[in-house]
Amino acid sequence: MPGFVRAVALDLDGTLAERDAISWGALREVDRLRDDGLAAVLVTGRIVGELDAAFPGLREHFDAVVAENGAVMLVDSEETDLAEPIEDVLSEELTGLAISFRRGRVLLAADAEDAEQIVSLAGRLGLDCQVVRNRADADGVASGGIEGHRAAGRAR
């Protein structure tokens, strides 16, 4: 693909996969694009560990992966957090309230039905975080994104 385009970013769920079933035809096209010199980036809201468990070896077909709703970047074997992890106190409180959740490197994912409770609890705890819907999940991430993460790193 000559000219202007140097990379292509592809979403996982609903694009390359449906219900944890990968489209091998689409993945062959990704490999073909890479063979033609184009960089391929996989973009997903999934938690890194869940991505690897559901699709072993998938990362090998991409030059980079942006996971956990943009909070984690994976290039080769290097994993970089682009935001601060959500504070452990939220996980502890959710466990105490018997609210089911999953924890990623940065992201906290729960059922979307629990979103209001999580927002309310985060507010009571004084946490600076955002809860966003991602399909059937409510994903909690610390506010500030990459700039807040860089500033926190400089302050340490």
Question: pTM, whole model, 2 decimals?
Answer: 0.82
In the structure encoding, which two tokens stand for residue 37, read together?
A: 């010199």
Confidence of residue 2 (pLDDT cuts 50, 70, 90): low
pLDDT of residue 8: 94
Domain range 7-67, CATH class: alpha beta
Specify whether domain 88-155 bears CATH 3.90.1070. yes
Q: What is the pLDDT of residues 133-148, one digit of tens each?
A: 877 888 888 876 544 4
Arithmetic mean of pLDDT, 78-87: 92
In the structure encoding, which two tokens stand for residue 25, read together?
A: 């035809």
Whether 88-155 and 7-67 are alike in CATH topology: the answer is no
Arithmetic mean of pLDDT, 148-155: 42
What residue has token string 């610390």?
142
Domain limits of the chain? 7-67, 88-155
Q: What is the pLDDT of residues 7-49, one digit of tens each?
A: 999 999 989 998 889 999 999 999 999 999 999 999 999 999 9
